[in-house]
Structure 1
Amino acid sequence: MPESLNRELLEVSAQVRGLLQDLQNLGFDEVPLAPPTAGLPRCGTAGRADGGEPGVSCRPESLEEIRADLENSPCCDLCRERGNLVFGVGDPHARLVLIGEAPGREEDETGEPFVGEAGRLLDRILSAMGLSREEVYLCNVLKCRPPGNRDPRPEEVAACRPFLERQLAAIAPEVIVTLGKCAAQALLQETTAVGELRGHWHEYRSIPVMPTYHPAYLLRNPASKREVWEDMKGVMKRLRGGGSR
């Protein structure tokens, strides 16, 4: 072995010994090693490897991987007609996820959800909760704008729902808020009106869900802002660990 390489190995060994001694002095008896994830298949929404094989190790997929799948594999005709994919924005590890219905004209132009007047109202609601859109995650059931901002069709919701489920699995939020009828019914697989769903906790894959009105509805019906604020107070309480409402 060349003398220079031998010296380098001795220096590295001395540094490692010094580091281990420092850790021991701090009270560490062992150094846990994270299991390697490279090469493992991605986990599905049920926590199993893609394909649903039980007992097979897998790794959580990232939002970037989910977005790439959606960009590369159009799931319905809306994907072919859109201006921009509106996937979602915010903290990829957010404690709170808010889900709307579908992108509008301004969202289709910018590729970001909740950027119009309804989005500005949502920002004010979040601010009153002590939050910003950078601290939560915002997305829609549909990732592409329906023509003329029409209501999403059942087949479009069915095509996009798996991507929403994968987003939620990747983020693993503590609380979900659905905004409007479409989001609540799509996520909870309900047909009940949002006016009856709101104000009560529901559950999606063991995650508490609070349905409430969409900010666009509040622009048309400002008297309902009081009800939404009551819902959001319940959300804040749940995030603080204050139990159910």
Structure 2
Amino acid sequence: MISARDMTPAELAALLHFHADAGVEWLVEDEPVDRVAEFSAERAARNVRAPAAVAMAQAQTVQTTSGRTRPDTPPPLRGPAPSALPAIPDEHAVTEARFAAESARSLTELKTALEGFAGCNLKTSARSTIFAAGDPSSRIMVIGPMPSADDDREGVAFSGRAGLLLDRMLGSIGLKRESILISTVIPWRPPGDRPPSVPEVAICRPFIERQVELAEPKAVLLFGNLTARFFFNETGTIHALRGQWRDIACGNHAVPAIATLHPQELLTAPASKALAWRDLQAFAHRLAEG
């Protein structure tokens, strides 16, 4: 095996890009390391050092004229330990998100409001904020669930292999990514691609609903379990919710929407592509009707 020490900077950069494209997020050592044993050794060392530290502190005291001892230097004032910025309670964060979203009068203003919003903990671990991209004038909107690792790295919804498949799916019904509007329910990637919590979804809801309201699409194509459940307010799987036209309420607008399987699901279960093709045909037929 070639060692990293024997590689040129260009070769190392290429290798890192290859790992990133393959979905690698953590680097490990060549040899296994027993972290449990390391921790036990560090704790034992701290226990040995503690009595010595106490003895040293006692040796630094001096006798006063009254026979009492005092330290050479006054003790530091005690106060609250420094901590990170306090978390905003969920109900207050939802209120702030709703106010920020409703105050925006255009998609540009809404994007600025979302990028400046700090009430959702998902933002602290994400690299990118995913917002609606494309052509709003098309009045055609595609919405996915949450950013993937590829999306977070590229700053664009539906990136990587799933994005390439989405492009082919849209092309099969005569659409292009650049000619429609594409967004996600959750604007920030949850750590480790875990599902967002109920409070996190509630905090993000005003922003995606306002995106739909401002874009005023004539039809919306929803991808994946989370997206369908979010807009349809149901708990079924995508196989139970797909292929059915329903009106979704966003602000004062009711928009027709249909759900289908996410491209990532089709990559892992290619046999389901026939179902997605039916949904795409239904979407194209609705667009042709105007």
> Under TM normalisation by the shorter chain, which class is it?
0.7 to 0.9
Tell me if structure 1 keeps the 8 A contact 2:120–2:203: yes
Map 1:160-179 onto structure 2 (within 5 A): 160-179=204-223
Secondary structure of the corresponding residue to residue 141 of structure 2: strand
Q: Is 1:85 equivalent to 2:129 in the alignment? A: yes
Answer 1 or 2: which has greater helix percent.
Answer: 2
Whose Rg is larger? Answer: 2
Q: Report SS of the residue matched to 1:203.
A: strand
Report the number of matched residues. 185
Distance in structure 1 (CA, Å) of the matches to 2:207 and 2:270: 32
Distance of 1:154 and 1:215 partners within structure 2: 24
In structure 2, what is the Cα distance between the partners aligned to 1:156 and 1:122? Answer: 26
Report the equivalent of 1:215.
263
Tell me what 1:233 maps to.
281
* CA distance in structure 1 between the partners assigned to 2:140 and 2:275 by the alignment: 19
Per the TM alignment, residue 179 of structure 1 is displaced from its structure 2 partner at its CA by 0.3
Q: State the shift of 1:74 in Å.
A: 1.9
What are the residue-to-residue correspondences of 1:1-245 with 2, within 5 Å?
Answer: 61-205=105-249, 206-241=254-289
Q: What letter corresponds to residue 271 of structure 2 in structure 1?
A: A
Contact 2:132/2:211 (8 A) holds in 1: no
**Cα distance, 1:75 vs. partner?**
2.9
Structure 1: distance between partners of 2:110 and 2:138: 17
Q: Is the 8 A contact 1:94 1:171 kept in 2?
A: no
Which residue identity does 1:196 align to in structure 2?
A
Cα contact 2:222–2:228 (8 A) shared by 1: yes
SS of 2:289's equivalent in the other structure is: coil
CA distance in 2, matches of 1:154, 1:129: 35
How far does residue 102 in structure 1 lie from its aligned partner after superposition? 0.6
Matched position secondary structure for 1:211: strand
CA RMSD after TM alignment: 1.4
Which structure 2 residue ranges, 5 or more long, are not aligned? 1-101
Asked if the contact 2:147–2:188 (Cα under 8 Å) also holds between the matched residues in 1, the reply is: yes
> How far apart, CA to CA, are the structure 1 residues paired with 2:229 and 2:122?
20
Counterparts of 1:132 and 1:95, CA distance in 2: 13
Partners of 1:75 and 1:172 in 2: how far apart?
26
Letter in 2 for 1:90: G
2:11 counterpart residue number: none
Residue in structure 1 matched with residue 97 of structure 2 by the alignment: none
Indicate if the aligned counterparts of 1:202 and 1:208 stay in contact, CA closer than 8 A.
yes
Listed as ranges, the gaps of 5+ residues in structure 1 are: 1-49, 52-59
